[in-house]
Amino acid sequence: MSHLLHVISSPRGQRSASHEVANAFIEAWQAGEAGATLDTLDVWQTPLPEFDGVALGAKYAALEGRERTAEEKQAWDEIGALAARFQKADMIVFSVPMWNFGIPYRLKHLIDVVSQKDLLFSFDERGLQGLLTHTRAVTIAARGAPLGAAIEHQNAYIRSWCEMVGIREHDDVIIEKTLFGPQVDAQARRTARDEAVALAGKMRAGG
């Protein structure tokens, strides 16, 4: 049975293009995965630990060869619980608005929290080995304007992160020109929804 994690990073109350197209993908994907389960992680609704002081101490305790303090253990448990939601997923869908050429800061915060040695990757004399080798990912990325590759740090960033944690199969669906008026926006969403549904169909067929 498959398990899908949907990471939402568009704030609620917006008519989010990335969320809308992600829902179309997820619906089509679930249609081909009998009994599939869904976990929704909204970065704006989920408490994320600050990554300073105690959390940082918990991260470096192992490197320093010392036991974690009780406070650090608690912080590490919180981090582990968030990372477990990634470990459990066969499919991760990121719905991502472009913010200043990159991703929203709450999504970056989540990524900084969960991307830890022995949780999402291992690191030894052979170098860095991603642990999510059983996972596939899809990024549904919305942008107000059309962009050239030189200033694209949205999909490019998620793609690099996927490589780091061992995700080998990663697809993108891009919705551009959401700020070019209602007609252009509606057309961009329609095209992207069709593309997302086709991608789910291709995956069902083993592609």
Residues that bind ligand FMN in the complex, under the rule CB under 6 A: 10, 14, 16-19, 97-101, 142-145, 147, 178-179
> At closest approach, how far in Å is the CB of 204 from ligand FMN?
25
Q: What are phi and psi of 85, to 5 degrees?
A: -65, -30
Residue 16 in marked binding region: yes
Q: How far is CA 145 from CA 96, 148, 166, in A?
A: 14, 10, 31
> At closest approach, how far in Å is the CB of 43 from ligand FMN?
12
User: Helix or strand or coil: residue 98?
Assistant: coil
Residue 110 and residue 81 in contact, taking contact as beta carbons nearer than 8 Å:
no
> At closest approach, how far in Å is the CB of 97 from ligand FMN?
3
Residue 160 in marked binding region: no
* Residue whose CB is nearest to ligand FMN in the complex, by number: 97
Q: Which is nearer to ligand FMN, 94 or 99 (CB)?
A: 99
Residue 2 in marked binding region: no
Q: Which helix (H) or strand (E) holds 53?
A: helix 53-61
Alpha helix stretches (DSSP H) within 70-181: 70-87, 105-114, 155-164
Residue 98 in marked binding region: yes
User: What residues form the annotated binding site?
Assistant: 10, 16-18, 98-101
**Binding site residue list for FMN:** 10, 16-18, 98-101
